[in-house]
């Protein structure tokens, strides 16, 4: 599939400001910040969760644990697709039973990844509350799912692709809009 | 670090046509499956709606259970076919039996058969995927994959198979486990030393690249990183392949004393079922060097990874 670059949506500074704002919102909305666990969805939800954890520690002095969640085994299209997704190890370092979780991902689109993540988390325990944080909400939901913390909401068409890059996963940072070639 | 690759095989008949990077990718998937098996809820929906049939023409409750656990942990349906008491004893051919079961919409067969090549033959008669769970003396690929995985996981400071030495002790001639492990370890760059009475070590295996034969146990074990004892079956004595069990024990039983010749971190392995104090000293099997229990435990995640790799991403 050929992808054509269209425009830059967020540069490094804009990502930082958005994540900063989300960190403040998480601090404000949590009744007991010490009990919150950040869970990043593989791959780019993880650097986002780590970024949030670092900022929250900076502002409040509380270090929130960061978990890594792989949702591959919970996808609803595994027997329908022609490629084999790589399964990565889920590593959630704390017992999530009765904890408040913030699920982190880079892009919210159809909502199917978030649905799979909710099922995966339920198999790990029974959290008291789960909220969803995304850097970009691009619309086109196929399931009744919404984010609680949004870095930037962007109107897109289905033929467009959002590419998020973080230093730790991609060696550079930015959000770009691409178009699928015909 | 090696990049994970897509596994494009339709079947797992043996490991000959699997590349080193495909095997490493399968083991990475296994790492993820190990975590699944540590959860309170040991079940993921990955293979929901798929049907796996175990076709065992030779008894092996343990291997069958391990596959069944691996399938159910991923939410597949499992049907078990045991040859004893089935239509095969009423004279039906293997092909007709398979066709009858095929009509029930199986997606994958796990096959164990006493005749070498049976899984290959079955793969020509069905559209379903085939996993070889042991055919004659030829191959037992999932056992070799779990043995290799156990070494990769358990050897202190593991940095690859290159330069490592595996010793296989005992009845190599009749062992598909030995043949599959020889193939796997040499492919990954390790050396394999076969040890046992001359009558049980086929000459031709000694000509494989990276494989040597050795008839003295202490000498074979010298500097080894892993030593695997094979089960000594009593029938072999009756067939005159070695003089007596006590002589076998005296010369080839793997003991803590023998292991003093091995690398200080060497692991002791056994594919099971084991005859304690026959081919392996009981206290050695229970010692910290022994990874025999881990081998059994790793059987499930390794087979989960095999089923996942053969069944997911198959849509056309």
B contact set with A (CB within 8 A): 4, 6-7, 25, 28-29, 31-36, 39-41, 43-50, 74, 305, 308-309, 311-316
pLDDT for B313 equals 85
pLDDT for B92 equals 82
Please state the domain count of chain B.
2
Q: B71 to chain A: which residues are within 8 Å by CB?
A: none
Sign of the Cα torsion B305, B20, B230, B139 reads: positive
pLDDT for B8 equals 85
Least confident of A1-5, B69-73, B111-115: A1-5
**Closest Cα in chain A, distance from residue B298 (Å):** 16
**pLDDT digits 0-9 by tens, B140-179:** 999 999 999 999 999 999 999 999 999 999 999 999 999 9
Whole-number Å distance between alpha carbons of B300 and B282? 25
Does the residue B5 lie in any domain?
no
pLDDT for B251 equals 95
Number of separate helices (H) and strands (E) present in chain A = 4, 8
Residues B160 and B96 in one domain: no
Residues B145 and B215 in one domain: yes
Query: Average pLDDT of A106-120?
Result: 97
Residues B89 and B191 in one domain: no
Q: What is the CATH number of the domain that holds B213?
A: 3.40.50.1370
Does the residue A81 lie in any domain?
no
Of B4, B33, B40, the CB nearest to A86: B4
**pLDDT digits 0-9 by tens, B30-60:** 999 999 999 989 999 999 999 999 999 998 8
Confidence band (pLDDT; 50, 70, 90) for A182? Answer: low
pLDDT for B7 equals 86
Does the residue A162 lie in any domain?
yes
pLDDT for B295 equals 98
Whole-number Å distance between alpha carbons of A85 and A25? 34
pLDDT for B240 equals 75
Q: Which H or E run includes A23?
A: helix A12-29
Return the closest-CA partner of residue A45 out of A2, A96, A88, A100: A88
Domain encompassing residue A51: 3-76+86-180
* Token couple for B175: 């062992």
Residues B179 and B287 in one domain: yes
Does the residue B12 lie in any domain?
no
CB B142 within 8 A of CB B23: no
Residues B251 and B303 in one domain: no
Q: What is the value of ipTM here, to two decimals?
A: 0.90
Residues B50 and B78 in one domain: yes
Angstrom CA distances, B222 to B3, B188, B266, stand at 34, 21, 10
Q: A84 to chain B: which residues are within 8 Å by CB?
A: 6-7, 309, 312-313
A contact set with B (CB within 8 A): 70, 72-75, 78-91, 119-120, 123-125
Test B32 with A89 for CB contact under 8 angstroms: yes
SS3 A63: coil
Test A88 with B32 for CB contact under 8 angstroms: yes
Bridge partners (DSSP) listed for residue B195:
B169, B214
**pLDDT digits 0-9 by tens, B75-120:** 999 999 987 656 666 778 889 989 999 998 999 999 999 999 999 9
Residues B148 and B117 in one domain: no
Does the residue A140 lie in any domain?
yes
More confident residue, B233 or B212: B212
More confident residue, B2 or A126: A126
Domain encompassing residue B191: 141-291
Residues B185 and B145 in one domain: yes
Whole-number Å distance between alpha carbons of A20 and A26? 10
Angstrom CA distances, B143 to B121, B179, B314, stand at 21, 11, 25
Residues B117 and B161 in one domain: no
Please state the domain count of chain A.
1
Query: Would you say residue B242 has pLDDT above 80?
Result: no
CB B242 within 8 A of CB B248: yes
**Closest Cα in chain A, distance from residue B124 (Å):** 22
Q: What is the CATH number of the domain that holds A162?
A: 3.40.50.2020
pLDDT for B233 equals 80
Residues B244 and B284 in one domain: yes
Half-sphere exposure of B252 (CA within 13 A, CB side): 29
In this complex, how many residue pairs, one in chain A and one in chain B, have their CB atoms less than 8 Å apart? Answer: 72
Mean pLDDT of all residues belonging to chain B: 93
Return the closest-CA partner of residue B53 out of B103, B88, B13: B103
Residues B66 and B122 in one domain: yes
Residues B47 and B147 in one domain: no
pLDDT for B75 equals 98
């Amino acid at each position: 599939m050929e992808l054509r670059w269209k425009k830059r949506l967020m540069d490094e500074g804009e990502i930082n400001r958005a994540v900063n704002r989300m960190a403040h919102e998480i601090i404000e909305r949590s009744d007991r910040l010490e009990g919150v666990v950040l869970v990043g969805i593989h791959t780019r939800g993880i650097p986002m969760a780590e970024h949030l954890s670092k900022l929250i520690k900076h502002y409040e002095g509380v270090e929130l644990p960061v978990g890594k969640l792989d949702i591959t085994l919970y996808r609803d299209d595994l027997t329908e697709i022609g490629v084999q997704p790589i399964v990565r190890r889920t590593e959630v370092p704390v017992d999530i039973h009765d904890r408040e979780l913030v699920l982190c991902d880079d892009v919210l689109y159809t909502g199917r990844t978030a649905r799979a993540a909710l099922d995966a988390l339920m198999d790990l325990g029974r959290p008291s509350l789960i909220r969803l944080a995304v850097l970009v909400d691009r619309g086109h939901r196929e399931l009744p799912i919404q984010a609680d913390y949004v870095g930037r909401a962007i109107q897109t068409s289905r033929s467009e692709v959002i590419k998020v890059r973080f230093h730790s996963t991609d060696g550079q940072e930015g959000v770009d809009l691409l178009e699928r070639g015909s | 670090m090696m990049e994970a690759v897509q596994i494009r095989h339709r079947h797992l008949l043996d490991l000959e046509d699997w590349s080193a990077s495909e095997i490493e990718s399968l083991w990475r998937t296994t790492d993820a499956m190990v975590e699944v098996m540590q959860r309170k809820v040991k079940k993921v929906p990955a293979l929901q709606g798929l049907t796996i049939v175990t076709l065992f023409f030779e008894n092996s409750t343990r291997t069958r259970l391990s596959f069944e656990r691996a399938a159910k942990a991923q939410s597949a349906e499992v049907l078990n076919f045991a040859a004893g008491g089935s239509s095969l004893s009423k004279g039906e051919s293997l092909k007709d039996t398979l066709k009858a079961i095929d009509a029930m919409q199986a997606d994958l067969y796990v096959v164990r058969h006493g005749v070498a090549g049976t899984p290959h033959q079955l793969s020509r008669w069905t559209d379903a995927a085939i996993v070889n769970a042991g055919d004659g003396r030829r191959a037992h690929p999932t056992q070799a994959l779990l043995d290799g995985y156990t070494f990769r996981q358990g050897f202190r400071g593991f940095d690859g198979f290159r330069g490592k030495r595996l010793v296989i002790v005992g009845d190599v001639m009749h062992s598909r486990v030995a043949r599959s492990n020889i193939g796997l370890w040499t492919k990954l760059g390790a050396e394999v030393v076969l040890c046992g009475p001359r009558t049980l070590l086929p000459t031709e295996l000694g000509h494989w690249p990276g494989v040597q034969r050795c008839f003295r146990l202490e000498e074979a074990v010298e500097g080894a990183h892993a030593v695997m004892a094979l089960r000594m079956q009593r029938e072999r004595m009756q067939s005159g392949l070695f003089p007596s069990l006590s002589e076998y024990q005296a010369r080839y039983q793997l003991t803590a004393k023998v292991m003093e010749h091995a690398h200080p971190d060497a692991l002791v392995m056994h594919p099971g079922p084991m005859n304690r104090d026959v081919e392996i000293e009981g206290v050695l099997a229970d010692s910290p060097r022994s990874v025999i229990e881990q081998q059994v435990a790793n059987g499930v995640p390794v087979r989960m990874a095999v089923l996942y790799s053969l069944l997911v991403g198959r849509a056309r």
